[in-house]
Structure 1
């Protein structure tokens, strides 16, 4: 109560922070006439002036006001857009390394230019992170006009770039790219064998667009580069046959926590079944030799009991394609790890693909914490403010809208059954359609969107095909005549090819769009229609008379939509009229309030009127899991009749509390994952830093010598215990170890028989002999060649052992939880075990490098005859697979079935356009202009592969009948 009173008097923390920006905003506005009077050349010269001031000792904060004024003027001259005052505030928030929460349609893309330009003046590079390639290209071209006008260079990182092009883009003042590209480039850089091959030049400042999607949603899974393992498809298929024979008493299922485990009776039953099928031949399931079987059984059990077809995944073209729970879109190429995907393939009887071994990985939390300064922007961050603060040390600042929000958010309507709820939704959609109000119906999954689509079809509606101009014309004709045709569009993973057109037309009078989540679509829903998309789709030039006619039509449609609200109806209990604009109908609440807010935020952009309502039932997942049984009994007692709904603010609050519980649980899960990953991250930093030191050194001879002496110390310590008598020494074992590791034939056993000899003397003799042998080997192969060989052996041995170490840590992570039953903290146990494993890695590295170099012999051969060329050494890495998704588009940034070759270096396959080669067709290494079948997925703004010089969207990618 006191807090509420203080907030009324003094304002919230957010309000007080916003007030601190007012003087700078006033100063920028005061400079506007002065800056506007400059010529283009004088305005461009300001960039050099600012750089000189920074070189002279001024800070970025010192030049913020004139720099922002310059960017605002440049935007007016290049884009015809002027930053609003609230956008200037957003730019200051980003510059301070915080998150700017701005509503949909408030111009976040333009806001970023202010902080990007200011920080780019330092010359250390600024990374702008987007959620997909399309937005990276679009924003780099669109906002790049401002930067180039002011004399800065702009690069973009997307599919299809080779290492040279990537280095060139990263060398620019400003680089646009996706979160996945930045992450994979970081991992690839730390697998290279020469510093000159590395693409990135550091992590200075990054602005993350849709920061909640990237730093929260995608933080659930790491970026992974992996390589193939042996095929185990027969084992997956065999185990899958026994799982359906389990009965309900054999396992404990917890839907809320998404866990399933065998009971004691289930363990006995599964062992019996596996013996019958010849899978378990000896011992019990939990014997040491059968640990792999336990893993496969657990994954098969999860596949059958936790993963549901058409909700978590779909089967398409003999593949299991994952459905993202936040966007409802397909994610082709993304695969579950640890054999889970193979278990699903076995369950659905599709081809079981071989597993992959992790070669390098990193989470987004640890990737973005590499940056010296990090900022972000989104429309929905407040609900995750605690997570941003705790994990990333980022504050969330709510930026006020340029115009007030006039959307009305109604209380939720709760029905007893899903059938009643969907019937009410279809009726409500029909009413809005009749008065030409565009409706966007949000669903939580493909399954639900298709169920609703079926009900719409039964009610007399047809699905509109945006590839059919006649069907689209009917939509416009209905808007013009006031007699809407009963058509609706479905936007989910099955129809995402037409996504841009579906979203663009969702604001046309009478349009009905059923969408599975609306996060980060990249296209605004504009009332009346989207002029840019109409011109592109119809192939009309922007400055033609036809374009003017389309603009007039869209403006007329906008007026219709604005007047399409619902009048007051006291008889129906509606005392006040409801506004026109886009009508949002949610079919259920998501686990996260943020996803619901993203759906609502599609309506009411830039002061437009709008309306939103959620229709729920007690059979919805969220309601069912969080105690709907008690609520159902209460509603029956209150006399709720079939078809009736209950509407009350208390219901809203109860649902919000349930969502908060789920959000808190998910945050705890991500925090727990991060705690374990931090252990690996500390080791990753050490390994990557060591690699860089090895690569940057002219010679690693000192490290090699130190390793060799360390190996000798270990050999002597292992065979001659401290304080032992000579007759207790294992001289024979030491002799064999010297032969195996050091490749030396020495009379070690004779030395041990000498009177009065000590272990230290034997150690010195071994060192002297080993040093002499290695010096002779260096002399024989020449120091120049051995310098190269030493570095390559050291780097490749480190990489090989690091990969094995990652696999070991993965396995350790899976079983360490059992230590909790012994009253031990699993995390501390994991840290301790991981530390010991890392020490073992260091010991193995010394031994492996020493053993190889004590045997190495170089064969000199003419490079033209296929021999080694030490002036330009090959830097090939083994075939790899890159795995991660873009959760906001559902399109995999990298095709997991595609072999990437070495990611760069002479003779590598890195010039392959990532994403072109597809599973089963890995020989497609380049695009044939005459054969569209070889083009693969082409970006809309990419130059058309046919060779016309036009963008793909204006050429072969142009909308046609």
Structure 2
């Protein structure tokens, strides 16, 4: 009550923010006549003048009015578009590092040019982040004309570019690209072995387009670069045959659709054990016995694939591959793979080739990647519903920017039917009514399956229409651009991030381009374009008279933002329009979140078949259900971030230290310091403080010295000397180690020794970090069980992760010392150049969410010293660490480890 009263008296926080920015708009407008009076050359030269003023001590805020006025005038001359006053306000909000919520059709792409230009003047690089390669390329080309006119360079980062192209794009004043490509370049840069091989420069300022899609929806699934592991594809196929039969009987498993989890019942466990034994897969013990841990993992993932994932909803099969469908945009996510073996389970389910699993080499969440930027801003049509998350996770404030022209779209109450069949029939009737009056219709669906079901229904009724879903994503921009033609019917999966406006009457430029087969050149094209523009203008008036674009939602999404994005396609720039959602008790949201109560209510109201109930209370009830789901999803993302923050602290430290190693001229002092610590730890472990000489472990010390330092020292004799103590023993072992290191350096020569030390240290650092990531993966998978012992899993994870990290550093020191002192190279033999190893970009398991991130092969250089692998001596099994049973035996026999040294 008091909050509402204060808002009426003093305005909301958003109102006060807008008032502050509006006060600066007149200063920009006052400069317009002076800017118009400038020649093209003088206008372009403003960039040089601004940079000179920055060099003399002025700030970007000081330059804002003049810079914005310059961009507005340049945009009018080059693009034929002049920024509205509300767009200037949006630009100011973005410049301050906040989120500008602007309705669809308000020109967010143009708004971004204002803060992008202003911040690019600093010469530190500006990132503009988009949701896909098409938008990155389109916006860079479109707005690049404006930046080029003002003397700024523009680069584009899209999939498939090589390092040289990427380096040039990042060196530009403004760099357009996707969140995935930027994130993967960051990870790949931290796997490089020379500074000059890295492509990114220091971070400065980023604007994220469709900020809710990137920083919220996609933030559930971290980016991961991984390398191949042993091939277990045959096991996936064998287990799939068993689980496919098992999944036919629902009594064999418990499924929770709210939490998206599934587990075997007791009956299911007994059945699957019997079936696995018959298939000769389960050879000994029960399914949950320790030797069968891997088998349990395969069964669980196969069960998830069969019970929680639906073809043409969660994924499609295209060209013999499983392609994931983005649940928020309906787009195919080419190259992405579910992690933890789930993708392999889906491949086995659909009987396509099963690709090998992968092991994590590097990973980062979008939250932690974007928090690296000193200044971050975002823009979208729908951010207010997630304002709390933006504030808590990213420290980003959401500011709602008013529309240039008031919205006149009529949003009608939802219609609720008993069955999906009745609902779709009502949708078809409404579409027919709209077509009769030439009103274009956009039908939004939540999956490919639903869009094709409606398409079949309309085909049966002879209603011409276009379908836009993952199967036809190549035609996306063309289909959407013409969705505003008179009487047009367009069926589309979720409209998030489509990036193309629906203009009433159609898009003249795209229509002309289609007529000329994409070759817009010559006088014929210009003449035809003018004709088409006249036709489109007439068509637009017919559409407005018919009521504008009508949006039909065939189902409510879990997130209100997605519904708002769909609705927002209609009513751009003051155009007329309408929207209505059609629901049924069989819809997922209604079925999972309270259909029993709703069904009882409809029965009491005496609802007959084919009738719908329409009431504002229904909308409020649904909004509450959506808020609950949004809160649960936020908790999931927050939980993921808490765990990743632990790893992020370690990641920052590792990447910082690695970069310092890479940029150092030589690492002789670092290697010597590591050697001192290793020797000290060895001696302290064998000769603890305040322990009698009879209790010293001289046998163990002698073996460790031989294994790590490659020395045969008479420590047992030294131990029998009168008056010998820990300090004296440490001095003798240290002296022997230093003598060996000096001999090794003399053999190699100073220059060569520095090369060997640097190459080995970086390679071993990467090796122990990779093993540490694997250990953290394993720790995280089971840490939740600590809650049964009344212990906080997160605190347990922090504690054990810290211990693992210290262990990793100790391992790094030992391996480095061992290699430096034991390695042999011929004096004239050149140090081998790093050889690329194949890695794949994929995902990391996210608790409670579907785990995925883009995948694709990249060559990452890893230095090697001929004849050796880091820390491994073929003659000494104690240096082999944890060798996989199906890997080649390190002894060099050519046999698998399980058939050689791993027998028994």
Secondary structure, in 3 states, of the residue corresponding to 1:315?
A: strand
2:541: which partner in 1? 559
- Checking the alignment, whether the CA contact within 8 Å between 1:180 and 1:893 is kept in structure 2 is no
TM superposition score normalised by structure 1: 0.86
Higher mean C-alpha deviation, range 806-815 or range 384-393: 806-815
Secondary structure, in 3 states, of the residue corresponding to 1:533?
A: helix
2:686: which partner in 1? 719
2:133: which partner in 1? 133
Secondary structure, in 3 states, of the residue corresponding to 1:97?
A: coil
- Checking the alignment, whether the CA contact within 8 Å between 2:193 and 2:862 is kept in structure 1 is no
1:744: which partner in 2? 711
1:180: which partner in 2? 180
In 1, distance between residues paired with 2:168 and 2:199? 8
Superposed CA offset, 1:750-781 (max 9, x none): 11221221122111111111111111111111
- Checking the alignment, whether the CA contact within 8 Å between 1:412 and 1:652 is kept in structure 2 is yes
Query: Relative to 1, partners in 2 of residues 1:442 and 1:635: Cα closer, same or farther, differing over 3 Å?
Result: same
- Checking the alignment, whether the CA contact within 8 Å between 1:253 and 1:259 is kept in structure 2 is yes
Q: Say yes or no: does 1:496 pair with 2:455.
A: no
2:351: which partner in 1? 349
Matches within 5 A, 1:386-397: 386-397=388-399
1:821: which partner in 2? 788
Query: Relative to 1, partners in 2 of residues 1:254 and 1:542: Cα closer, same or farther, differing over 3 Å?
Result: farther
In 1, distance between residues paired with 2:529 and 2:73? 28
Matches within 5 A, 1:459-608: 459-461=461-463, 487-539=464-516, 540-541=520-521, 544-564=526-546, 580-608=547-575
In 1, distance between residues paired with 2:428 and 2:792? 53
- Checking the alignment, whether the CA contact within 8 Å between 1:490 and 1:515 is kept in structure 2 is yes
1:471: which partner in 2? none
In 1, distance between residues paired with 2:32 and 2:192? 49
Using the TM superposition, give the Cα deviation of residue 894 of structure 1 relative to its aligned residue in structure 2, in angstroms. Answer: 9.6
Higher mean C-alpha deviation, range 309-318 or range 760-769: 309-318
1:625: which partner in 2? 592
Higher mean C-alpha deviation, range 165-174 or range 761-770: 165-174
Secondary structure, in 3 states, of the residue corresponding to 1:854?
A: helix
Secondary structure, in 3 states, of the residue corresponding to 1:370?
A: coil
In 2, distance between residues paired with 1:185 and 1:805? 21
Using the TM superposition, give the Cα deviation of residue 33 of structure 1 relative to its aligned residue in structure 2, in angstroms. Answer: 1.1
- Checking the alignment, whether the CA contact within 8 Å between 2:747 and 2:827 is kept in structure 1 is no
In 2, distance between residues paired with 1:146 and 1:904? 42
1:20: which partner in 2? 20
- Checking the alignment, whether the CA contact within 8 Å between 1:412 and 1:613 is kept in structure 2 is yes
Higher mean C-alpha deviation, range 2-11 or range 216-225: 2-11
Q: Say yes or no: does 1:653 pair with 2:620.
A: yes
2:29: which partner in 1? 29
TM superposition score normalised by structure 2: 0.91
Query: Relative to 1, partners in 2 of residues 1:382 and 1:583: Cα closer, same or farther, differing over 3 Å?
Result: same
In 1, distance between residues paired with 2:527 and 2:53? 49
In 2, distance between residues paired with 1:387 and 1:168? 35
- Checking the alignment, whether the CA contact within 8 Å between 2:415 and 2:583 is kept in structure 1 is yes
In 1, distance between residues paired with 2:493 and 2:246? 35
In 2, distance between residues paired with 1:903 and 1:661? 47
Higher mean C-alpha deviation, range 663-672 or range 544-553: 544-553
Higher mean C-alpha deviation, range 339-348 or range 144-153: 144-153
Higher mean C-alpha deviation, range 423-432 or range 228-237: 228-237
Superposed CA offset, 1:40-60 (max 9, x none): 232233222222222222221
- Checking the alignment, whether the CA contact within 8 Å between 1:163 and 1:904 is kept in structure 2 is no
1:301: which partner in 2? 303
In 2, distance between residues paired with 1:880 and 1:9? 60
Using the TM superposition, give the Cα deviation of residue 458 of structure 1 relative to its aligned residue in structure 2, in angstroms. Answer: 1.8
In 1, distance between residues paired with 2:541 and 2:726? 95
2:763: which partner in 1? 796
In 2, distance between residues paired with 1:743 and 1:584? 76
In 1, distance between residues paired with 2:476 and 2:863? 38
- Checking the alignment, whether the CA contact within 8 Å between 2:130 and 2:136 is kept in structure 1 is yes
Q: 1:878 aligns with which of 834, 837, 840?
A: 837
In 2, distance between residues paired with 1:563 and 1:443? 27
Query: Relative to 1, partners in 2 of residues 1:895 and 1:112: Cα closer, same or farther, differing over 3 Å?
Result: closer
- Checking the alignment, whether the CA contact within 8 Å between 1:229 and 1:354 is kept in structure 2 is yes
Using the TM superposition, give the Cα deviation of residue 264 of structure 1 relative to its aligned residue in structure 2, in angstroms. Answer: 4.4
Q: 1:899 aligns with which of 839, 842, 857?
A: 857
Using the TM superposition, give the Cα deviation of residue 861 of structure 1 relative to its aligned residue in structure 2, in angstroms. Answer: 5.1
Using the TM superposition, give the Cα deviation of residue 136 of structure 1 relative to its aligned residue in structure 2, in angstroms. Answer: 1.5
1:783: which partner in 2? 750
In 1, distance between residues paired with 2:541 and 2:231? 62
In 2, distance between residues paired with 1:268 and 1:756? 68
Superposed CA offset, 1:310-349 (max 9, x none): 2212233332222221122222321110001111222222
Matches within 5 A, 1:334-345: 334-345=336-347
Using the TM superposition, give the Cα deviation of residue 893 of structure 1 relative to its aligned residue in structure 2, in angstroms. Answer: 13
Query: Relative to 1, partners in 2 of residues 1:265 and 1:760: Cα closer, same or farther, differing over 3 Å?
Result: farther
2:11: which partner in 1? 11
1:224: which partner in 2? 224
In 1, distance between residues paired with 2:861 and 2:41? 41
Higher mean C-alpha deviation, range 709-718 or range 814-823: 709-718
Q: 1:614 aligns with which of 573, 578, 581?
A: 581
Query: Relative to 1, partners in 2 of residues 1:88 and 1:893: Cα closer, same or farther, differing over 3 Å?
Result: farther
Q: Which structure 2 residue ranges, 5 or more long, are not aligned?
A: 845-850, 865-904
In 1, distance between residues paired with 2:797 and 2:344? 27
Using the TM superposition, give the Cα deviation of residue 265 of structure 1 relative to its aligned residue in structure 2, in angstroms. Answer: 4.7
Runs of 4+ with deviation above 6 angstroms: 892-895, 903-906
1:310: which partner in 2? 312
Secondary structure, in 3 states, of the residue corresponding to 1:35?
A: helix
Q: Which structure 1 residue ranges, 5 or more long, are not aligned?
A: 462-486, 565-579, 886-891, 907-961
Q: 2:722 aligns with which of 736, 751, 755?
A: 755
Higher mean C-alpha deviation, range 85-94 or range 802-811: 802-811
Higher mean C-alpha deviation, range 450-459 or range 608-617: 450-459
RMSD between aligned alpha carbons? Answer: 2.0
Secondary structure, in 3 states, of the residue corresponding to 2:333?
A: coil
Using the TM superposition, give the Cα deviation of residue 715 of structure 1 relative to its aligned residue in structure 2, in angstroms. Answer: 1.5
2:802: which partner in 1? 835
Q: Say yes or no: does 1:405 pair with 2:407.
A: yes
Using the TM superposition, give the Cα deviation of residue 541 of structure 1 relative to its aligned residue in structure 2, in angstroms. Answer: 4.3
Query: Relative to 1, partners in 2 of residues 1:348 and 1:141: Cα closer, same or farther, differing over 3 Å?
Result: closer
1:285: which partner in 2? 287
Q: Say yes or no: does 1:707 pair with 2:707.
A: no
In 2, distance between residues paired with 1:788 and 1:334? 38
Superposed CA offset, 1:539-577 (max 9, x none): 15486222211111111111111111xxxxxxxxxxxxx
- Checking the alignment, whether the CA contact within 8 Å between 1:233 and 1:353 is kept in structure 2 is yes
Using the TM superposition, give the Cα deviation of residue 261 of structure 1 relative to its aligned residue in structure 2, in angstroms. Answer: 2.0
Using the TM superposition, give the Cα deviation of residue 788 of structure 1 relative to its aligned residue in structure 2, in angstroms. Answer: 1.4
In 2, distance between residues paired with 1:260 and 1:219? 23
2:189: which partner in 1? 189
In 2, distance between residues paired with 1:159 and 1:668? 32
Query: Relative to 1, partners in 2 of residues 1:510 and 1:541: Cα closer, same or farther, differing over 3 Å?
Result: farther
Give the aligned length: 851
- Checking the alignment, whether the CA contact within 8 Å between 1:197 and 1:904 is kept in structure 2 is no
Using the TM superposition, give the Cα deviation of residue 903 of structure 1 relative to its aligned residue in structure 2, in angstroms. Answer: 7.1
In 1, distance between residues paired with 2:755 and 2:629? 55
- Checking the alignment, whether the CA contact within 8 Å between 1:60 and 1:118 is kept in structure 2 is yes
- Checking the alignment, whether the CA contact within 8 Å between 1:101 and 1:378 is kept in structure 2 is yes
- Checking the alignment, whether the CA contact within 8 Å between 1:162 and 1:904 is kept in structure 2 is no
